[in-house]
Amino acid sequence: MDKMILRGMEYYGYHGVFEEERKLGQRFYVDLELELDLSKAGATDDLTQTVNYAEVHELLQGIMRDESFKLIEALAEHIASKVLDTYTNIDALTVKLTKPHPPFDIHFEGVTVELHRTRK
């Protein structure tokens, strides 16, 4: 299966277990790996035969900005569901969601969840 990979999309969102996280917000990074047939788009040079990644970015930006989840697991699940619901030509996807600065007293690069979902 062909893939379209969107890496390092940065968003500001209001997600987290702690009230301050949901009030003040913080940065998140999203990587998407979309599995779909790209042969028609490659042969025709026609945007309607693929997924417009600018539109995917806009969809994610709205989710990250306008919705709120306590768990990044729930946020990643919601992203996967919305992308699959919106783009019927995507057969499967992988969402990698990173919270780079969780509010802990220890230093580490962040926490990431990764999930793979297929069209049912």
Amino acid (one-letter) located at 28: F
Options 3, 23, 96, 99, the catalytic residue: 99
Average pLDDT over residues 101-119: 86
Is 40 among the catalytic positions? no
What does pTM read for this prediction? 0.94
Per mean pLDDT, which range of 7-21, 24-38, 47-61, 97-111 is the poorest?
Answer: 97-111
Pairing of strands 3-13, 111-118: unpaired
- Banded model confidence at residue 105, pLDDT cuts 50, 70, 90: confident
Mapped onto helix, strand or coil, the DSSP state of residue 107 is coil
Over 90: is that where the pLDDT of 107 sits? no
Q: Where are the beta strands (DSSP E) in 47-91?
A: none
Task: Name all domains of the chain by residue range, CATH numbers in brackets.
Answer: 3-118 (3.30.1130.10)
Pairing of strands 111-118, 92-99: antiparallel
**pLDDT tens per residue, range 54-82:** 999 999 999 999 999 999 999 999 999 99
The DSSP 8-state label assigned to residue 47 in this structure reads: G
